[in-house]
Amino acid sequence: MASSGQITRRVLLTGVSGLALSGAAVAGSLNGVLPGRARLRRTLGIGQVVAGAPDAGGSDPAYERFDSAARGREVTWGWVTPPGQDPDGLPVVLVLHGRGDNAHSAFDGLALHQYLAQHVQEGGAPFGVVSVDGGETYWHPRASGDNALAMLQDELLPRVAGLGFSTKKVASMGYSMGGFGSLLLAREATHGRFGEPGQLVAAAASSPALFAGGAASSAGSFDDAEDFTRWGALSRRPGIKGAFPLSVSCGSDDPFCAETKRYRSRCDPAPQGSIGDGAHTTNYWRSQVPDQFRFLAQHLA
């Protein structure tokens, strides 16, 4: 029998084997083979994106409320222009927020008023940024009667035009649930089901909340399987008619990455944007804003 100060061959082999297995598990998780990849990479600081908001002297957003017949409730909407500019004649980017957020999130969270100021300072074509409360509807008509899609078209855009913005050309952008919403607007617009013909000219999405099927969707996102098939199955069938300008990006550590890749692969032509470092975070969404603003401004100009 080996003394307490000795290591038996069996213990030594077991230890080496355990180390090998642990190493394989870590490598597998880092490479996406085993579960826990995103958490492990985040813990180790691998593939993360840090994007502090610029301090570009952006104008303060303004907010108003209106009673939405389409949504059956009062909603808040907000807007901002580049510093020193009035809405008069400026085209518009509609920003669709993620689940759990609201009209304030585009500015309080993503600091889009600061990015807009930076965009114009760097020579980008100016536009206005507009946000609105969409609730948790996934930006489509619901069985409850809450219809955020109709609210955008029939109630919000006329109010935007009433401020002096030009709504002849509108673009959309969104993140998470709002990224899904932006791609949904693109699909509906190219089939003549949103806005006037040619009114929506481009769409951008960060980390779009795309699901492989109704059973995989988060609770409350869709009313039932039929609702998902009609509105939610975008990664299987993007449904974009013609060569509509899209920018679609997602972080490789994002739970929606696989379905975003699937969506991108089924678009023809392929969207701009990319799959790269990042997770489902505000930092990642901020990191995408400068390129998305340039992309949208190109099509709004």
Q: What mean pLDDT do residues 58-80 have?
A: 98
Q: What mean pLDDT do residues 113-118 have?
A: 98
Q: What mean pLDDT do residues 39-55 have?
A: 77
What are the angstrom distances between the C-alpha of 22 and each of 16, 28, 33, 132, 263?
10, 10, 14, 48, 35
Tell me, what's the pLDDT at 9?
42
Tell me, what's the pLDDT at 179?
98
Tell me, what's the pLDDT at 38?
63
Query: Domains of the chain, with CATH numbers?
Result: 62-300 (3.40.50.1820)
pTM of the full structure:
0.87
Tell me, what's the pLDDT at 45?
67
| β-bridge pairing 92-96 and 73-80 | unpaired
Please check the confidence at residue 247 and state whether its pLDDT lies above 50: yes
Please check the confidence at residue 240 and state whether its pLDDT lies above 70: yes
Tell me, what's the pLDDT at 49?
80
The two three-digit tokens of residue 67, written as one number: 């009673």
Tell me, what's the pLDDT at 207?
98
18-27, 189-198, 259-268, 277-286: the lowest-pLDDT one: 18-27
What are the angstrom distances between the C-alpha of 197 and each of 189, 194, 201?
7, 8, 10
Residue 37 pLDDT grade (very low, low, confident, very high; cuts 50, 70, 90)? low
